[in-house]
Structure 1
């Protein structure tokens, strides 16, 4: 009888164990799904921090013009109250075959706020102008290689958005010489010898003093 009871209770016991194990499996599966859906706290905090560090998305309507304007304003504000970028220096090309005259004229040009550049004849002066057009040209007439009249005529034939002011500084002081110099393309004419005051008056009349 006892053996029969044991045999009869065996299947029931296994059935109860199997039911309990299935319930546990269901419970464990549900817990696993919830754990998978729930983001771990450290990972969530890291993700939130990364999102806070990410650059903001561009506003609607923002284009290249807005970006350039913002950069320009930043540059303007940077220099506000400080030292603005220096403007490009004015240059004066002095063309004369006399070294003494070039040095004297350079000193005068420097005192008037120009950076002097020297050339000893028209050919050298023309090459300098082709490389970088000066703001002002003071040129002699009688020079070797290329005289002042030829130099000025060739200078005026160079296409440039920056037309220099040209002043003949020469000992040729006849009325015909002055007419020929202006006809070649000079803006004014001063007869040697001249001093700083005379040259400054000429340049002030031309708006370059």
Structure 2
């Protein structure tokens, strides 16, 4: 089974994003900071990571760079999840190693389409 990791400081966003990944057939884990993210990824690199762009006290671009330097990260699909369509921020995220950017709020269909475009899907989910 493919594994997904949701990194966000908001418990509500983590639960929603985790549920979206689970509907797509991913076994998913939630974390809320950089230390837990790096620990989880060092244990086993997830297939998909949804990384929030703004976690208090964390430079999320630097966290993204650290993730990309970890063993196995080349096979992981990393989405940088943002609330604003800021071309400068999107460019920085893509240069730091994000495969794509998801704008919040996102839903099952959006995540599924983006993962399919990148070839990183779990099982087919039914939108309800």
Q: Same fold (TM over 0.5)?
A: yes
**Which residue is equivalent to 1:185?**
97
User: SS of the residue aligned with 2:85?
Assistant: coil
**Which residue is equivalent to 1:165?**
77
Distance 1:124 1:145, change over 3 A: farther
Kindly state the Cα deviation for residue 148 of structure 1 after the two structures are TM-superposed: 2.1
Aligned: 1:115 with 2:27: yes
4+ residue runs of structure 1 moved beyond 3 angstroms?
Answer: none
**Which residue is equivalent to 2:53?**
141
Distance (Å, rounded) in 2 between the aligned partners of 1:92 and 1:147: 21
Which structure is higher in helix share? 1
Distance 1:157 1:110, change over 3 A: same
Kindly state the Cα deviation for residue 146 of structure 1 after the two structures are TM-superposed: 2.4
Distance (Å, rounded) in 2 between the aligned partners of 1:174 and 1:94: 22
**Which residue is equivalent to 2:117?**
205
Q: How many residues align?
A: 121
Q: TM-score, normalised by structure 2?
A: 0.88
**Which residue is equivalent to 2:13?**
101
Deviations 1:147-171 (A, max 9, x none): 3211110011113376211011121
Structure 1 contact 141–172 (Cα < 8 Å) conserved? no
Structure 2: 5+ residue runs without aligned partners? 122-128
User: SS of the residue aligned with 1:169?
Assistant: strand
Q: TM-score, normalised by structure 1?
A: 0.55
Aligned residue runs from structure 1 range 1-209, under 5 A: 89-160=1-72, 163-209=75-121
Q: Which has the larger radius of gyration?
A: 1
Which fold has the larger relative contact order, with Cα–Cα distance below 8 Å and residues 6 or more apart in sequence? 2
